[in-house]
A = this chain, B = another copy of it.
Amino acid sequence: MVDSLARAAGPEAVTAVVNVGDDLELLGLRISPDIDTVLYSLARLLDEERGWGVRDETYSARAITERLGGETWFTLGDRDIGLHLVRTEALHRGEPLSAVTRRLARALGVGLELLPATDDEQRTFLRTDAGELDFQTWFVRRHHADRVLAVDVRGEARPAPGVLEAIRGAEHVVIAPSNPFVSIGPILAVEGVRDALAERRVAAVSPIVGGEAIRGPLGEMLEALGFERSAKGVADHYGRLIDVFVVDETDADLAPAIPGAVVAPTVMVDPGRREEVGRAVLEVLG
């Protein structure tokens, strides 16, 4: 979605506020999967087929760490590790995540402003029928097979510099079609973010199309958490936080039942369609 809006409006017109609740430490490396996916996508380095990691990646380090008994359940490619090394070293030197991220984005030729929601340690945990799990353990290590009973975002997280200013100053505020519980929820849990959003006309793009998430286990999670497994379930979850809800053309028949619903093409797994989707979304936002 960030890429779509950047292609439609020009990257310099976009500020992306990104979730860090699913960040992790592995092999001493600080990994920020959501930031990295946006970075790689905008730098045209993303493995688009998988939706994560670097394309044409090598896995030499992983082969050795595995042989040496290091943890390998979270796949780290060599290029990916190169980025994590630079970030981790900078964080250990005391550079805030937002400053490191800005540096990495510039070095990779990313033209838009990319902000972690917070520079503080914020972590998403899931209460499941297999006990409490941190996000990546639930999602990657256990293949999101455990039924989610509740989402618990932890850490006193203050907004990173520029986050509230971006919300207050933007022409359009758009919540991306990500998982509202585990990807958007942690951003909303950052101090001041809900209040800043309450002052603005906020649009969300539905992450559910035809009853299924484009990627990930959102369908099951909606049901498990007591919402309808549909675009309407997501709109119900957001409630009065949002003013406009963009549903995909596939779900046009659901629109009359959703307050503030507008219809636009939103599916853009194919990068070739992203500019078109970005333009359509900006158009329905008026």
Contacts and interface: CB of A to CB of B under 8 A. Distances in A.
Nearest to A30: B28
B58 A70 contact: no
Contact of A63 (B63, B82, B86, B108): B82
A69 B105 CA distance: 12
A257 interface: no
Contacts of A63: 79, 82
Contacts of A82: 60-65, 68, 70
A183 interface: no
Given A89-B28, A92-B28, A107 B68 contact: yes
A70 B57 contact: no
Given A27-B86, A63-B79, A64-B83, A103 B69 contact: yes
A60 B85 contact: no
Interface size band for A: 20 to 34
B108 A67 contact: yes
Contacts of A80: 64
A60 B57 contact: yes
A157 B29 CA distance: 29
Q: How many copies make up the complex?
A: 2
Contacts of A89: 27-28, 70
Interface in A71-116: 77-83, 85-86, 88-89, 92, 103-104, 107-108
A54 B62 CA distance: 14
Contacts of A67: 107-108
Contacts of A54: 64
B78 A61 contact: yes
Interface string A241-265: 0000000000000000000000000
Contacts of A28: 28, 85, 88-89, 92
A78 B58 contact: yes
Interface string A195-226: 00000000000000000000000000000000
Given A28-B92, A63-B79, A79-B63, A86 B57 contact: no
Q: Which 3 A-B pairs have the closest CB atoms?
A: A64-B82, A61-B82, A60-B78
10 contacts: A27-B89, A28-B88, A28-B92, A60-B78, A61-B81, A61-B85, A62-B82, A65-B85, A68-B82, A68-B103
